[in-house]
Amino acid sequence: MKLAPTAFVEQIRGLTPPGSEVIPLEWTFEDEDHNIAVLIDDGEDARQIEERLLDTIIDYDEAHGTFTVCMVWPKREKARAGVR
């Protein structure tokens, strides 16, 4: 497991609402290559944001032969997302 490349993180950041945090994590759940947490403000629709990110993540993984987990969390659940 290695941190998600900066260009990939920036691409994801460009698809998230203003004020969101996109954080590449240093740990994995199982066998993924990259683990990214997206922290959003209350009132944002997490499912809608996940749908917006999905194609970009799939395209990246297909092009690079990787598997990425990218989960969207409310900022108030930062600790549950594994972010310190």
- pTM of structure: 0.89
Region of 68 (left: φ > 0; alpha: ψ -120 to 50; beta: rest) is beta
Which tens digit of pLDDT belongs to each residue from 29-66?
Answer: 888 999 999 999 999 999 999 999 999 999 999 999 99
Average pLDDT, integer, range 13-34 = 92
Q: Considering the domain boundaries, does residue 34 fall inside one?
A: yes
Tell me the pLDDT of the chain averaged across its residues: 91
How many structural domains is the chain composed of? 1
For position 1, what pLDDT does the model report? Answer: 67
Domain-located, residue 67: yes
Does the residue 13 lie in any domain? yes
Name the residue range of residue 73's domain: 6-77
Contacts (Cβ under 8 Å, ≥6 apart) of 17: 40, 41, 44, 49
Domain presence at residue 11: yes
CB 42 within 8 A of CB 5: no
Q: What is the CATH number of the domain that holds 11?
A: 3.30.300
| Under 8 Å between Cβ of 25 and 36 | yes
